[in-house]
Amino acid sequence: MALTTYWTTRPRARAETRKLEAEVDRTRAETTKILAEAEMRRPSVAPQDTTPKGWEVSGSVPEDYEVGLDYEVFFAGRASAFIRSRHENPASYASLVQSIKADDYQGTRLQMTARVKARDVVGWAGIWMRVDDANERTMAFDNMSKPDRRISGTVGWRAYSVTLDVPASGAYISFGAVLQRTGQIWLDEVRLNVVDDSVPVTDTYSNFPRRPVNLNFDDGTH
């Protein structure tokens, strides 16, 4: 009985073995094909960084935005820089920024000017400048975020400026442009110039009151 079972089951076992080997060969062939297709899709060189030379990109989720150079839309010269949202719900903001040492501007009033063009900005945009001390504590700052100064919607090339006093203890100056939420802005002709005291500062901190007011809430509303 055992011998009969052996001779009747051996062909079946061989058939099962051949079936498994065929499955292995098919799986190996499919894997090789997938890897070959992936290799064909892989770029031959790493993606090029489109950030303008000398500048950096910052923001909470900067990959939600695209930053680069535009050789067709510019105010002067050969190109402008741009920031634009990649989709309809980008996170927070993206900023194009450059930082320099403050040594040459310590004790002066410094004005940043730039030309900005905007398209379909939902949220706001602006140019900005900040002065930090050696411990990276902010000493002066303005980013045009106030409703009466911010850039929104679609506007043609316009001149904008921010002006800050650079204390003698100022160590670093950072400046650039910012876009919050959707849309696109172009930036061109950025300038830093020392101005005299007749030019008012736009420092956000300079507008803070020197003393607290209306602490018992008896003075009504605005």
Q: DSSP string spanning 188-214?
A: EEEEEEEE-TTSPP--TGGGS-SS---
Indicate whether 221 pLDDT > 90.
Answer: no
pLDDT in tens, 150-174: 999 999 999 999 999 999 999 999 9
pLDDT of residue 204: 87
Other CB atoms within 10 A of residue 43 CB: 6
Tokens of 154: 């679609």
Q: What band does 181 get if pLDDT is binned at 50, 70 and 90?
A: very high
pLDDT of residue 34: 47
Q: What are residue 97's DSSP bridge partners? A: 56, 176
pLDDT of residue 42: 40
This prediction has a pTM of 0.74
Higher pLDDT, 114 or 89: 114
Residue 78: strand, helix, or coil = coil
Indicate whether 1 pLDDT > 60.
Answer: no
pLDDT of residue 61: 77
pLDDT exceeding 70 applies to what percent of the chain? 77
Find the mean pLDDT for residues 14-23: 60
Residue indicated by tokens 């929104």: 152
pLDDT of residue 41: 39
pLDDT in tens, 20-76: 566 656 656 555 554 454 444 343 333 457 899 999 999 877 788 999 999 999 999
pLDDT of residue 44: 37
Indicate whether 13 pLDDT > 70.
Answer: no
pLDDT in tens, 62-112: 788 999 999 999 999 999 999 999 988 888 899 999 999 999 999 999 999
Higher pLDDT, 207 or 46: 207
pLDDT of residue 12: 56
Distance of alpha carbon 51 from alpha carbon 53, whole angstroms = 6
